[in-house]
Structure 1
Amino acid sequence: MTYCVWRLLKITSKKSPSDKKLISAIHTIAGFTPKNLELYRLATRHSSLIKENGNGFKENNERLEYLGDAILGASVADFLFKKFPYKSEGFLTEMRSRIVNRESLNLLARKIGIGNIVQYDQKNSQLQQVILGNTLEAIVGAIYLDKGYSSTKKFVIKKLITPNYDLDELVSTQTNFKSRVIEWSQREGKEVRFEIVDIKKGKIHKEFTAQVFVNNEVMGTGYGNSKKKAEQDAAYKTCEKLNILSEISVRS
């Protein structure tokens, strides 16, 4: 019997069945035994289960989700920054967005078993399908408070990113955002146009400002040292605003 298994059995021996299940699940998902179990109880409690403490505070995972969202984003950004030392800010931003977008996190959370421990109002049968990613973020927040940033970043990289995302595939399927905006406009029956609205002369090169108009409304403004780069930047911001950044597939 390994020390980790012995310690897990010792910790769970006097716990309730629900706590034993939670401790075992966190050990499976994260690779360690929780120190402060209450953090993980809170992280897995959705707001559809209204529970107030004596001070009128609603005990659900929304605050931990807020914290976990920031920690997850920082961990992924740190990982990508070091993984791709010669790539541009735009490339890194897109890669991070494709890893931590809501659809991707929902798929990932379902794969690693978050659905087995999330607590929610089961009268709403569709709710679990859309809250798993939020719960995963809340668990990241709980790990941060329980174990610190270094352990949390290790969890994000070794347990979430590395085994579940093919980074080479992500790189090879980099997106032409201008094409995506055009495809979206055709699908939705919207009128779209790209305009260079300003050109400034710099010491080394010109700086172009581009805007994307959808039905004559400005949806994105971008900058670059060429017309193409400025339009792509504006298109990326338009995709962000329209919530049409690409979804990515989590490894099965």
Structure 2
Amino acid sequence: MKQLLVAIVEDDNEYSSFLEKCLSRYGSEKGFIFNTQIFNKAETFLDNYKKAFDIVFMDVDLGKGFLNGMDAARKLRNIDDTVILFFVTNMPQFAPEGYSVNALDYCLKPIIYSNLSVKIDKAIKLLSNRSGQPVKIKEKEGTRIVSSNDIMYIDVMGHDLMFHTVDGVIDSYGGLSERENELSGCNFARCSASALVNLSYVTGLYGDEIAVGGDRIKIGRSKKKAFMEQLNMYLGGGYK
């Protein structure tokens, strides 16, 4: 059984317990073990935070006098760009703001297990796609090896090939088409003549632009149809 580490940041003990039970039920049904840690305050959660959690459930309203969930999520993203984040709230009007911190989804109170199960399915799919493959990136000083899962997108700048990773930008060289072939089985898609995107990091679609890792990338007219087909297939029809 695969084990996943989950943080529940929630000041309501009943909801913390309920979420924990839901995760236990899901694990029994799907063959996972969820090791949960519960935090009553965002400050406690963020103190000495390490990139160890797979999933974080963050309550938006953590009570007066404490850091609220949205502000805590912004601080979390300064530390960890990749942990899967769910907001827990009874205020759906916060949903648009959540995409600014790359929240995967919202869990609206009162939580219903069948709805939550579908959301966890999405998280599990995303995590399974992060197993990755090693990618060699040539730099002036030598060769860097990174996981394909840690590459958000690759774009061309002049004669350079820029690898935008979760740990920063790596300046390299070579052909983008060559990298596209190399990463063909890793959920990468060409959105323009000069950009190759990891679909697992796409967090929004805005006209002819997509949001990836906090950046906006233009979708080329000639690539749009094929790119949207790949994105829809990856997300199961999530974008139209």
Q: TM-score surpassing 0.5?
A: no
Higher helix share: 1
Q: TM-score, normalised by structure 2?
A: 0.24
TM-score by length of 1: 0.23
Q: Which has the larger radius of gyration?
A: 1
Bigger relative contact order (CA 8 A; separation at least 6): 1
